[in-house]
Structure 1
Amino acid sequence: MNRMPKYEKQSLSDRVVAHVKEQILAGTLKSGDRLIETDISTHFRISRAPVREAMRILNEQGLITFSPRKGNHVIEMNPAELMEAFEVRASLETQILRKLLREQRIKETDFQQLAKIAREMNSGEKRGVNEAEKFFLLNSLDISFHKYLWELSGNVRRVQILEGLFYQLLIVMNEDLSSLGVLEKKAEEHLRLVEVLRGNDPSAVVRAFHNHIQDYVKVTLPREEQNFCLDC
């Protein structure tokens, strides 16, 4: 499993943060799961200090919560909070897509790279030796695809917020792994997004992206899905 998004620093605390995110990508960490600092420090053969720092970072990114009596736990979100996360992600990513088209920032080499990432989703079905690895491939390629577009915009703060939201939503969707879809279908969806982006029609791009996100909303919040708002 080597599609984990790259981090600039490789301190001990960053290694722990990356490890936790890998478990989220693989679907093995779910809402409410407890993160025991002593177990993590033993696993990495490191002191508790960098583990505590990693927990602080993950808390700031909205991925875990801490209470003095209960310790660190993976976040839990109620339906209203989950819908808000979907809407915020949709709104911010729509702003980025409009900017990319308006300023013509997506070049041919970018389209080729995006298509390559999407095609790797298709081949991932054969490369994944078990369910955890298949979900890791699907989710790490999914975030790589979207993060590529986010970073093209040059909007550092939006990228930081969107990455946090991606993992927050994924944690909840890990409760029912079927909601994540299958590699072949996701490959087709992302390849369609590439083709729509090539057309340089903002309305068509926003519509295609809205449908892409709404597919997740439908399976995650079937009762509330009709209230999903793209630009709220």
Structure 2
Amino acid sequence: MSDQTNERSKYQLKRQSIPEELAESLRERILKGEFKEGDQLVQEAIAAEYDCSRMPVREAFRQLEAAGLIVSRIHKGAFVTSLPTDQIMELFELRAIMECDLLNHTVSRMADEQVIRAAQILEELDEAYSRRDIGKVNSLNWEFHRSLYSRTERPQTLVLIRGINVQIERYIRRHQILTSRFEEAEEEHRQILASFKSGAPSVIELMREHIIQTGHSLVKALKTAK
């Protein structure tokens, strides 16, 4: 088997949902920095790499563009997006506004199963932190936040927040590598959960500070790294 075939086989797809799987695979490669800001994604090259036609590639590109990860330019093709640091901070500020609003609506509806599930996720986060598994950390971080909002009955707000998280996840991954802010985030999550469990209104301010501080720390780390 040739080296080209071996390389291509890493990205083989299940035929029943090629566009979705392709979009997810490309998304992960963007988030972990394999495709960097400003890189061009060429349909023909992607189709050859995944051994598929250009049609699912076009659909995958549409999904990635809707998520804000790539942008299509007329007569030029698709490129991985780049966000200025002030816009990254703006996204964290939007997250803080929306997530604190969700907490305000859910803290009075808190259920025991929410607290149990959130605590379980934090245990999994501990393990991911210890392994420095950046991808798993970000996935579990979102699951922890979402577990606190599971009784809000505001699905559209959750969709918007998830979209923001996808846009900034690649920068958060770099942030965690650059600053090793694992222990701080872990302690903040535990404070948030304890406050949430007690039903204290302070949970809203704790969440706001957690999100904003993460944003400021990220922007500082990115500027320092330039």
- Give the TM-score band, short-chain normalised: 0.7 to 0.9
Change (3 A) 1:179 1:108: farther
Q: Indicate which of 209, 212, 226 corresponds to 1:211.
A: 209
Matching of residues 113-152 of structure 1 within 5 Å: 113-125=117-129, 127=131, 134-152=133-151
Instruction: After the TM superposition, list the runs of 4 or more consecutive aligned residues in structure 1 that deviate by more than 6 angstroms.
Output: none
Report whether the alignment pairs 1:108 with 2:112. Answer: yes
Q: Is the 1:179–1:216 contact (alpha carbons within 8 Å) kept by the matching residues of 2?
A: no
Distance in 2, Cα, partners of 1:53 & 1:19: 13
Greater relative contact order (CA < 8 Å, ≥ 6 in sequence): 1
Which secondary structure does the structure 2 equivalent of 1:171 belong to? helix
Q: Indicate which of 52, 57, 60 corresponds to 1:51.
A: 57
Distance in 2, Cα, partners of 1:172 & 1:201: 32
Alignment correspondent of 1:194: 193
Cα deviation for residue 184 of structure 1 reads 4.6
Which secondary structure does the structure 1 equivalent of 2:82 belong to? coil
- With normalisation by structure 2, the TM-score equals 0.79
Distance in 2, Cα, partners of 1:110 & 1:147: 10
Change (3 A) 1:212 1:181: farther
Change (3 A) 1:154 1:43: farther
Distance in 2, Cα, partners of 1:174 & 1:113: 24
Q: Is the 2:88–2:215 contact (alpha carbons within 8 Å) kept by the matching residues of 1?
A: no
Q: Is the 2:72–2:79 contact (alpha carbons within 8 Å) kept by the matching residues of 1?
A: yes
Report whether the alignment pairs 1:38 with 2:37. Answer: no
One-letter code of the match for 1:43?
E
Which segments of 5 or more consecutive residues in structure 1 lack a partner in the other structure?
A: 1-9, 129-133, 224-232
Distance in 1, Cα, partners of 2:179 & 2:99: 19
Per-residue deviation, residues 138-159 of structure 1 (Å, max 9, x unmatched): 1111112123334432212111
One-letter code of the match for 1:196?
S
One-letter code of the match for 1:109?
E
Cα deviation for residue 19 of structure 1 reads 1.4
- Stretch of structure 1 that moved more, 163-172 or 143-152: 143-152
Report whether the alignment pairs 1:12 with 2:14. Answer: no
What RMSD, in angstroms, separates the aligned Cα atoms of the two structures?
2.5
Distance in 2, Cα, partners of 1:118 & 1:27: 26
Per-residue deviation, residues 163-222 of structure 1 (Å, max 9, x unmatched): 1100112233445443574545433332222111112122x1111111211221222234
One-letter code of the match for 1:100?
T
Q: Is the 1:90–1:213 contact (alpha carbons within 8 Å) kept by the matching residues of 2?
A: yes
One-letter code of the match for 2:186?
A
Which segments of 5 or more consecutive residues in structure 2 lack a partner in the other structure?
A: 1-15, 222-226
Distance in 1, Cα, partners of 2:164 & 2:194: 25
One-letter code of the match for 1:111?
V
Change (3 A) 1:173 1:74: farther
Distance in 1, Cα, partners of 2:48 & 2:181: 35
Distance in 2, Cα, partners of 1:85 & 1:23: 21
- With normalisation by structure 1, the TM-score equals 0.77
